């Protein structure tokens, strides 16, 4: 099968050489009964490759089952895989078939094979060598015709050297190795996958597909994605939900990409990491400072309603001011952050002003609570009332996107 046709059939996105080589190997080995060992980091899509091999093999009309060896307790894994006789152990009230017997004639995918106990490894080796196994508590040998595809996210040879994995089983499994590349090594594939995930999510949930603003592609493509495709998919869905508009900006991406994962996955020099990590921290601090400044101004505008409220808001403003000052001390203009166009200027705390209570706009809601959530809810109720329930106009009145308004209506249970 032509490579692009293979990708289309199994919805594989990407054109990196390492990915293409892995797919070509999977296609070539599919028509045989050889055991395959799929290697790659967690989240790269190893199970997808096992399904490709099965679907392209003569066994495609027979059963396929995927088993996570790390998710089965050590005391029950033999029974799960090979079955047991009635009364063979406490709780064995009936005879039970194991997975190998259940998928006879088909394919079994053993994920996280390195987590398999040594005793179970001996049973698996015998099955791979001659197709024989013995149920737990039985004495009769049974035969099955099952193709085994195994996967691991660790280096099995190191596990062999540490005595945690049988050397003979390793070489028996490693008949045809397939290495699935991590996402960070797939270049342009990263943004292709990101766009695909965003498009699929928006279509499934009937959400307008957002526009990617300048800088988003670079951030998505340059991040190292320690969780690989699984993490990329989660981030794409978070951005679709959490974005405050129909556009996705670089700052939106920065909010949902965890810095901790970036630092753990970074494999470059410590000097390079320090530069990259500091730049990201600085950018986020600048964003936080802007948010704090906006909050401070909002508090001042509201505090002018009455003398009593002014003193309460003044205390809040002072707390905000101390946080902004702390950020100013950390983020000083220098060669490492001047690229962000940051200016370390101090905004003076506004002087107290007073207004006549009777001049209050008739449409402004009475605020009987200093809780920001309560105040936000009241303003949303007022905007909906003013626009006669039309969310588009209410969102324009509030200065937020219709998507954000819809989310807040659900959060505050304001649906009619």
- Reported as a single tens digit per residue, the pLDDT across 172-187 is 999 999 999 999 999 9
| CB-CB contact of 35 with 178 (8 Å) | no
pLDDT bin (cut points 50, 70, 90) of residue 148 is very high
pLDDT of residue 375: 76
Strands (DSSP E) contained in 172-277 are 176-179, 211-212, 247-248
The answer, yes or no, to whether residue 307 has pLDDT greater than 90, is no
The answer, yes or no, to whether residue 163 has pLDDT greater than 90, is yes
Query: Which of 142-151, 202-211, 305-314, 323-332 ranks highest by mean pLDDT?
Result: 142-151
- The CATH code of the domain at 361-411 is 1.10.10.60
pLDDT of residue 391: 83
pLDDT of residue 405: 79
pLDDT of residue 65: 97
Task: Give kind and range of the element (H or E) at residue 134.
Answer: strand 132-134
Query: CA–CA separation, 227 vs 391, rounded Å?
Result: 38
The answer, yes or no, to whether residue 327 has pLDDT greater than 90, is no
Share of the chain above pLDDT 70, in %: 72
- pTM assigned to the model: 0.62
The answer, yes or no, to whether residue 358 has pLDDT greater than 80, is no
Q: What is the pLDDT of residues 213-246, one digit of tens each?
A: 989 999 999 999 999 999 999 999 999 988 777 8
How many other CB atoms are there within 10 angstroms of residue 153's CB atom? 19
pLDDT of residue 359: 44
Domain parsing of the chain, residue ranges: 3-181, 189-340, 361-411
Comparing 26-35, 125-134, 154-163, 342-351, the range with the smallest average pLDDT is: 342-351
Task: Give kind and range of the element (H or E) at residue 150.
Answer: strand 147-152
Classify domain 3-181 at the CATH topology level.
Rossmann fold (3.40.50)
| CB-CB contact of 340 with 392 (8 Å) | no
Comparing 92-96, 256-260, 387-391, the range with the smallest average pLDDT is: 256-260
pLDDT bin (cut points 50, 70, 90) of residue 285 is low
pLDDT of residue 246: 84
Closest CA to 167 of 115, 108, 122: 122
| Pair of tokens at residue 317 | 């403003």
The correct CATH number of 189-340 out of 1.10.8.60, 3.30.450.40, 2.60.40.420, 3.10.450.50 is 1.10.8.60
- Per the prediction, the chain carries an average pLDDT of 80
| Pair of tokens at residue 190 | 């990263």
Provide the pairing of β-strand 176-179 with 36-39.
parallel
pLDDT of residue 416: 59
The answer, yes or no, to whether residue 279 has pLDDT greater than 60, is no
Comparing 100-104, 133-137, 334-338, the range with the smallest average pLDDT is: 334-338
Segment 91-112 shows an average pLDDT of 93
Share of the chain above pLDDT 90, in %: 53
Query: CA–CA separation, 124 vs 80, rounded Å?
Result: 13
pLDDT bin (cut points 50, 70, 90) of residue 398 is confident
């Amino acid at each position: 099968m032509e490579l692009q046709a293979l990708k289309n059939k199994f919805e594989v996105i990407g054109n990196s050489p390492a990915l293409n080589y892995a797919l070509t190997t999977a296609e070539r080995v599919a028509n045989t009964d050889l055991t395959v060992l799929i290697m790659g980091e967690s989240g790269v899509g190893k199970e997808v490759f096992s399904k490709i091999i099965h679907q392209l093999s003569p066994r495609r009309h027979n059963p396929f089952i995927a088993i996570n060896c790390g998710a089965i307790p050590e005391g029950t894994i033999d029974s799960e895989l090979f079955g047991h006789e009635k009364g063979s152990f406490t709780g064995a009230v009936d005879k039970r078939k194991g997975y190998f017997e259940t998928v006879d004639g088909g394919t079994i995918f053993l994920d996280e094979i390195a987590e398999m106990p040594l005793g179970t490894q001996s049973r698996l080796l015998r099955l791979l060598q001659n197709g024989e196994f013995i149920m737990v508590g039985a004495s009769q040998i049974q035969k099955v015709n099952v193709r085994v595809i195994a996967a691991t996210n660790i280096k099995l040879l190191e596990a062999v050297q540490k005595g945690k994995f049988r050397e003979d089983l390793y070489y028996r499994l490693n008949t045809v190795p397939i290495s699935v590349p991590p996402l960070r090594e797939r270049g342009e594939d990263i943004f292709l996958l990101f766009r695909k995930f965003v498009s699929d999510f928006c279509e499934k949930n009937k959400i307008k597909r957002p526009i990617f603003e300048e800088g988003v592609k670079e951030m998505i493509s340059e991040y190292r994605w320690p969780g690989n495709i699984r993490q990329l998919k989660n981030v794409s869905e978070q951005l679709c939900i959490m974005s405050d508009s129909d556009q996705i900006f670089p700052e939106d991406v920065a909010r949902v990409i965890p810095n901790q994962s970036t630092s753990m996955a970074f494999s470059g020099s410590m000097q390079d990491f320090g530069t990259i990590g500091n730049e990201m921290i600085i950018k986020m601090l600048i964003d936080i400072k802007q948010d704090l400044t906006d909050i401070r101004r909002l508090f001042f505008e509201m505090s002018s309603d009455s003398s009593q409220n002014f003193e309460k808001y003044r205390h809040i403003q002072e707390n905000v001011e101390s946080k902004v000052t702390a950020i100013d001390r950390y983020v000083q203009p220098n060669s490492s952050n001047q690229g962000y166009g940051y200016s370390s200027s101090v905004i003076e705390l506004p002087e107290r002003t007073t207004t006549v209570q009777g001049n209050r706009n008739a449409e402004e809601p009475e605020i009987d609570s200093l809780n920001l959530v309560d105040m936000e809810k009241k303003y949303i109720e007022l905007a909906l009332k003013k626009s006669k329930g039309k969310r588009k106009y209410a969102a324009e009145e509030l200065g937020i996107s219709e998507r954000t308004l819809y989310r807040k209506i659900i959060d505050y249970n304001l649906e009619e």
